[in-house]
């Protein structure tokens, strides 16, 4: 530095510039000395020989890069949380009818909600619903009066000859079947002259001539084969006839007997 200055720079300025380029530990040791610059240079060389050269590297760039990565990750997490909150608010603000329609649209559109969810175990039915028609199950029909015909439904029945029967909603009736308790049943109100229900709900009545003849013939064959014999008991149970392709099948009706029978246990 002295050679480059050509003796034009004062020693105090040269001392200040030289001190700025020394290590911090060397500056701390030589700062209290008032010797000339040549003596200080020799002392600095000895200090460097004893302590060795140490390079101090500040990891400012590394820490800065790490902080930038953390900030980027925090920003991504914040965006994800905001997106989830936005979707949740949009779902909560949706119409309840719309949500119900979305759940119901995945089911069978030809069935009402009760039959679509519970199937054959459904206790209610809301027209229009063709669950009974598609599954071959019978339905209970109740004749409509003048006030019922004001509420026409889109559900229509088709008879065996192809004619249609209009319906007017559902009516709940309390039934006494002789079982010691009452039953609530939903009837479809239709444009019919008399109620139509399942045969085993009908009360016992006299047989038509055709059915009476078939029953007598069948029982004569059973007596001739020794399967049964005439009874002297005053008790009797009604029989139920089921039409088959070429004949009538006899089925016993033990509802009244079961109603008065007490179990052994």
- CA separation for the pair 34, 46 (Å, rounded): 17
Under 8 Å between Cβ of 198 and 140:
yes
**pLDDT > 70? residue 262:** yes
The pLDDT assigned to 265 comes to 67
Q: Could you tell me if residue 12 is inside a domain?
A: yes
132 plus 178 within the same structural domain: yes
User: Is residue 156 exposed (0-12), middle (13-18) or buried (19+ Cβ within 10 Å)?
Assistant: middle
On whether both 233 and 173 belong to a single domain, the answer is no
pLDDT class of 160 with cuts at 50, 70, 90: low
Helix 11-20, helix 37-51: angle, nearest 10 = 10
In the prediction, which pLDDT does 136 show? Answer: 41
Phi–psi pair at 230, nearest 5 degrees = -65, 140
Let me know if residue 143 belongs to a domain. yes
Greater pLDDT, 9 or 69: 69
Question: Which of the pair, 72 or 36, is modelled with greater confidence?
Answer: 72
Could you tell me the strand order of the sheet in which 156-158 lies? 141-143, 182-190, 164-176, 156-158
Q: Is the pLDDT of residue 260 over 70?
A: yes
Which one has a higher pLDDT value, 248 or 38?
A: 248
- Residue 199 is assigned to a structural domain of this protein: no
Whether the pLDDT of residue 224 is over 80: the answer is yes
In a domain, 70, yes or no: no
CB 234 within 8 A of CB 240: no
Give the structural domain span for 43. 2-47
| Residue 15 CB neighbour total at 10 angstroms | 14
Higher pLDDT, 214 or 181: 214
Contact 33, 43 (CB under 8 A): yes
Position 9 in a domain? yes
Domains contained in the chain, number: 3
Do 236 and 177 share a structural domain?
Answer: no
Average pLDDT score, the chain? 75
Same domain, 164 and 222: no
Residue 6: inside a domain: yes
Comparing 106 with 256, which gets the higher pLDDT?
Answer: 256
Beta bridge pairs of residue 239:
252
Q: Mark whether 165 and 134 lie in a shared domain.
A: yes
Q: What's residue 135's pLDDT? A: 43
Confidence of residue 93 (pLDDT cuts 50, 70, 90): low
Same domain, 186 and 144: yes
Residues 140 and 180 in one domain: yes
Distance in angstroms (rounded) separating the CA atoms of residues 163 and 196: 16
Which pLDDT does position 33 carry in this prediction?
A: 75
Which residue has 């001392």 as its token pair?
A: 15
Q: Which of 9-13, 53-57, 169-173 has the lowest mean pLDDT?
A: 53-57
Same domain, 176 and 225: no
Q: Are residues 122 and 183 in the same domain?
A: yes
């Amino acid at each position: 530095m002295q050679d480059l200055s050509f003796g034009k720079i004062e020693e105090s300025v040269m001392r200040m510039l030289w001190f700025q380029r020394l290590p911090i530990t060397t500056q701390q040791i030589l700062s209290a000395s008032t010797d000339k610059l040549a003596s200080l240079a020799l002392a600095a060389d000895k200090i460097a020989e004893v302590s060795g050269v140490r390079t101090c590297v500040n990891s400012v760039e590394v820490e800065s890069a790490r902080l930038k990565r953390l900030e980027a990750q925090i920003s991504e997490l914040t965006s994800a949380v905001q997106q989830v909150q936005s979707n949740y608010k949009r779902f909560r603000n949706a119409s309840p009818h719309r949500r119900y329609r979305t759940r119901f649209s995945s089911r069978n559109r030809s069935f009402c909600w009760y039959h679509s969810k519970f199937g054959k175990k459904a206790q209610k039915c809301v027209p229009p619903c063709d669950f009974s028609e598609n599954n071959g199950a019978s339905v209970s029909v109740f004749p409509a009066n003048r006030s019922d015909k004001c509420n026409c439904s889109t559900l229509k029945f088709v008879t065996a000859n192809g004619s249609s029967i209009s319906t007017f909603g559902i009516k709940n009736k309390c039934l006494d079947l002789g079982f010691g308790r009452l039953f609530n049943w939903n009837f479809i109100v239709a444009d019919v002259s008399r109620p139509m229900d399942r045969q085993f709900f009908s009360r016992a009545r006299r047989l038509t001539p055709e059915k009476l003849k078939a029953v007598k013939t069948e029982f004569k064959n059973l007596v001739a084969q020794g399967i049964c014999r005439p009874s002297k008991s005053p008790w009797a149970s009604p029989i139920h006839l089921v039409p088959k392709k070429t004949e009538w099948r006899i089925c016993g009706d033990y509802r009244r007997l079961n109603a008065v029978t007490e179990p052994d246990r």
